[in-house]
Amino acid sequence: MFGFGDKRYIGIDVGTSSVKIIELKVSGNKPVLTNYAWIPIDTSIEEKDIKSSYFELALPEHIKRMIKESRISSREAIFSIPAFGGLITLIEFPSIEKNELDQAIAFEARKYIPMSLDDVILSWEVVKKNSSKRMIVKKNSLHDHDQEAENNQDNGDKMEVLLVAAPKKKVAKYEKLAKDANLKIKSIEIESFSLVRSLIGNDQGNFVIVDIGSRVCNIILVEKGIIKVNRNMDAGGRDITKIIARSMNVDNERAEKLKNAENNFLSEESHIKFPVIDLILGEVSRVIKTYYKDSKEDLLDGVILSGGTAGFSGLVEYFSKTLNIRTIIGNPLGRVEYDKRLESRINELGNRFSISIGLALSGFDESTKK
């Protein structure tokens, strides 16, 4: 296909404390990092209750400036919706025919979605229980997808349906943001899927991703590439910064710098306690124990830390020791090629871009399947 090697995609992650943009190009059937941009969001926005006007007026201008100054050439963007802005849940059904499934899902969805179904956009994945094979069923799915789902359902089996929902108003908000930023929106997805794509990819193991953002922590249990549990909680790096500031009698700006330095505040010698980290660990432990119940612990291959706080000195060791599970910092660039001369800078920022990289990779994955 002529021009295939020049195809580029940008992933845009609008977080609570910053905006991250990644541009990838397709070259020789491989994703290559061509550009990235990052800009902090003024933390006073939320306090002054002007977040809505910022999103509508200032944010499009910031994105246009980021794209211009970083010389990003693509105008086809993929946006993420925060995990707390949507719904991801598993529902179990007996094995039924495709023509009955749409109606059954719509009926069950009412039990999980606290608003009229007319006000949300629904999609779902059907996973054959105890099988690693994934089957996609969507309202506008092609005939061959439908046939695949029907052909892989054995009589008497049960199906697990991964239900995904997002408010139409929120989706429209991102569509307007793209338009105001002079971008063509390719798709929008809940950030949990972007994290799985960049941090796990095609790995068939079982993992828990703990994405610790500035304000929200997203906990995702993934089995063979499929999201089984998704929880988010109001706890994050901002809380850690405040504890350091209070304990050391410094302002938040200085505390943030100390947090990102090599200081191990989690060592046994440190006098500072971080209840927010223990709160996150407690929720991770509950997710694991609730899902696996009496199963052996070795079914879980590890915990993957992500987000700006993943590099907090001593955090990996603290998670490993407390959970007694191997814990690592995720590598969102594991599938991406880039100029090795930028390695030190990319390693410093890489984990903050897990969502935006996952978004851009979705465009790459789609293009390589054509």
pLDDT tens-place string over residues 23-34? 999 888 889 999
283/244 same-domain check: yes
Looking at the predicted structure, is the pLDDT value of residue 149 above 50? no
Q: Which domain holds residue 229?
A: 206-329
Mean per-residue pLDDT, 288-299: 78
283/236 same-domain check: yes
117/258 same-domain check: no
Which residues are CB-contacts of 194 (< 8 A; sequence separation ≥ 6)?
11, 13, 80, 354, 355, 356, 357, 358, 359, 361, 362
C-beta of residue 231 within 8 angstroms of C-beta of residue 208: no
Coil, helix or strand for 128?
strand
313/179 same-domain check: no
186/281 same-domain check: no
Amino acid at 346: I
C-beta of residue 226 within 8 angstroms of C-beta of residue 127: yes
Token representation of residue 136: 């996609």
Tens-place pLDDT, residues 77-111: 999 999 888 888 888 888 777 778 888 888 888 88
Instruction: Pick the range with the lowest mean pLDDT from 142-146, 208-212, 254-258.
Output: 142-146
Token representation of residue 239: 């809380």
**Cα 162-230-158 angle, rounded to 5 deg:** 30
145/281 same-domain check: no
Per-residue confidence (pLDDT) for residue 2, from 0 to 100 = 34
Using a cut of 0.75, tell me whether the model's pTM lies above it: yes
Helix ranges (H only) for 12-166 are 44-47, 51-53, 59-69, 98-112, 143-151
Mean per-residue pLDDT, 165-175: 92
138/286 same-domain check: no
C-beta of residue 274 within 8 angstroms of C-beta of residue 322: no
Token representation of residue 135: 């089957």
Confidence of residue 144 (pLDDT cuts 50, 70, 90): very low
What is the number of other CB atoms lying within 10 angstroms of the CB of residue 123? Answer: 18
Per-residue confidence (pLDDT) for residue 141, from 0 to 100 = 31
Per-residue confidence (pLDDT) for residue 91, from 0 to 100 = 85
Mean per-residue pLDDT, 291-297: 74
255/353 same-domain check: no
Instruction: Pick the range with the lowest mean pLDDT from 33-47, 163-177, 355-369.
Output: 33-47
Per-residue confidence (pLDDT) for residue 354, from 0 to 100 = 94
Instruction: Report the greatest alpha carbon distance in the chain.
Output: 66
Integer Cα distance of 303 and 199 in angstroms = 11
HSE value, Cβ hemisphere, 13 Å, CA-based, for 89: 15
Number of domains in the chain: 3
Beta bridge partners of 87: 165
57/97 same-domain check: no
Per-residue confidence (pLDDT) for residue 235, from 0 to 100 = 94
Mean per-residue pLDDT, 44-55: 55
What is the number of other CB atoms lying within 10 angstroms of the CB of residue 346? Answer: 17
Last residue of a domain, one of 168, 190, 215: 168
Cα–chain center distance at 22: 14
Integer Cα distance of 185 and 63 in angstroms = 13
Integer Cα distance of 181 and 286 in angstroms = 41
70/92 same-domain check: no
Per-residue confidence (pLDDT) for residue 49, from 0 to 100 = 44
Higher-confidence residue of 191 and 341: namely 191
- Calculate the CA dihedral of residues 335, 317, 214, 330 and round it to 10 degrees: 0
HSE value, Cβ hemisphere, 13 Å, CA-based, for 54: 16
Residue 272's CATH number: 3.30.420.40
Cα–chain center distance at 282: 21
Confidence of residue 12 (pLDDT cuts 50, 70, 90): very high
Tens-place pLDDT, residues 256-271: 889 988 889 998 888 8
Per-residue confidence (pLDDT) for residue 200, from 0 to 100 = 94
C-beta of residue 227 within 8 angstroms of C-beta of residue 162: yes
Residue 91's CATH number: 3.30.1490.300
130/184 same-domain check: no
186/221 same-domain check: no
State how beta strands 87-94 and 120-128 pair. unpaired
3-state secondary structure 199-256: HCCCCCCEEEEEEECCCCEEEEEEECCEEEEEEEECCCHHHHHHHHHHHHCCCHHHHH
Confidence of residue 154 (pLDDT cuts 50, 70, 90): very low
Residue with tokens 């969502």: 355
